[in-house]
Amino acid sequence: MLVEKKIKNTNISVVQQKDYYSIPLDELNEMFADYQQRDIIQAASFEDDVWYLYNEKIKRRVIFQLDEIKFNRTKKNRSVFSFEDIIHALKGYVLYKLDVHPVESLSEQVSFLKKVIEETDFFHIHSKKVLVAVNANLIIDHLVVHCS
């Protein structure tokens, strides 16, 4: 994921490439606490399945729940990441994008990502090929409209 971080008190941003495994969980917890303290995120803890995101105009609910039963069924005979890793990666995505993306688009992006994750059987290679072959234009259209 490309992460854009604004430098405080300037119009300058730094763009970095991050992947889930390069980000310590402590860093995500610190980011969560910072946003929570600034009343941008409302949730009791980082581990909550539902966060409320706020800006000056709007409040959006982001739900980090996925079908764990389906995950356990699809991970058989595959070496895959843990269910908790997927949830933490989605939360990290929100935390890193929150400074530069509107709250309303972030909640839509998470919903879309969850749909892709579940429809690809948690990134099963065969399911990904089928999804891309059938829905490539829909995915591109969605990303252009909702993630720009």
Q: What is the pLDDT of residues 26-84, one digit of tens each?
A: 999 999 999 999 999 999 999 999 999 998 889 999 999 999 998 988 887 777 788 99
User: What's the distance, CA 7 to chain centroid?
Assistant: 22
Report how far residue 95's alpha carbon sits from residue 78's, in angstroms, rounded to the nearest whole number.
29
Give this prediction's pTM: 0.76
Residue 41 φ/ψ, nearest 5 degrees: -120, 135
Tokens describing residue 30: 């610190």
If pLDDT is split at 50, 70 and 90, which confidence band does 13 have?
low
Report how far residue 133's alpha carbon sits from residue 105's, in angstroms, rounded to the nearest whole number.
26
Q: Is 44 exposed, middle or buried (0-12, 13-18, 19+ CB in 10 A)?
A: exposed
DSSP helix, strand, coil percent of the chain (3-state; round to 5): 50, 15, 35
Report how far residue 93's alpha carbon sits from residue 1's, in angstroms, rounded to the nearest whole number.
8
Domain boundaries, the chain: 2-146
pLDDT of residue 81: 82
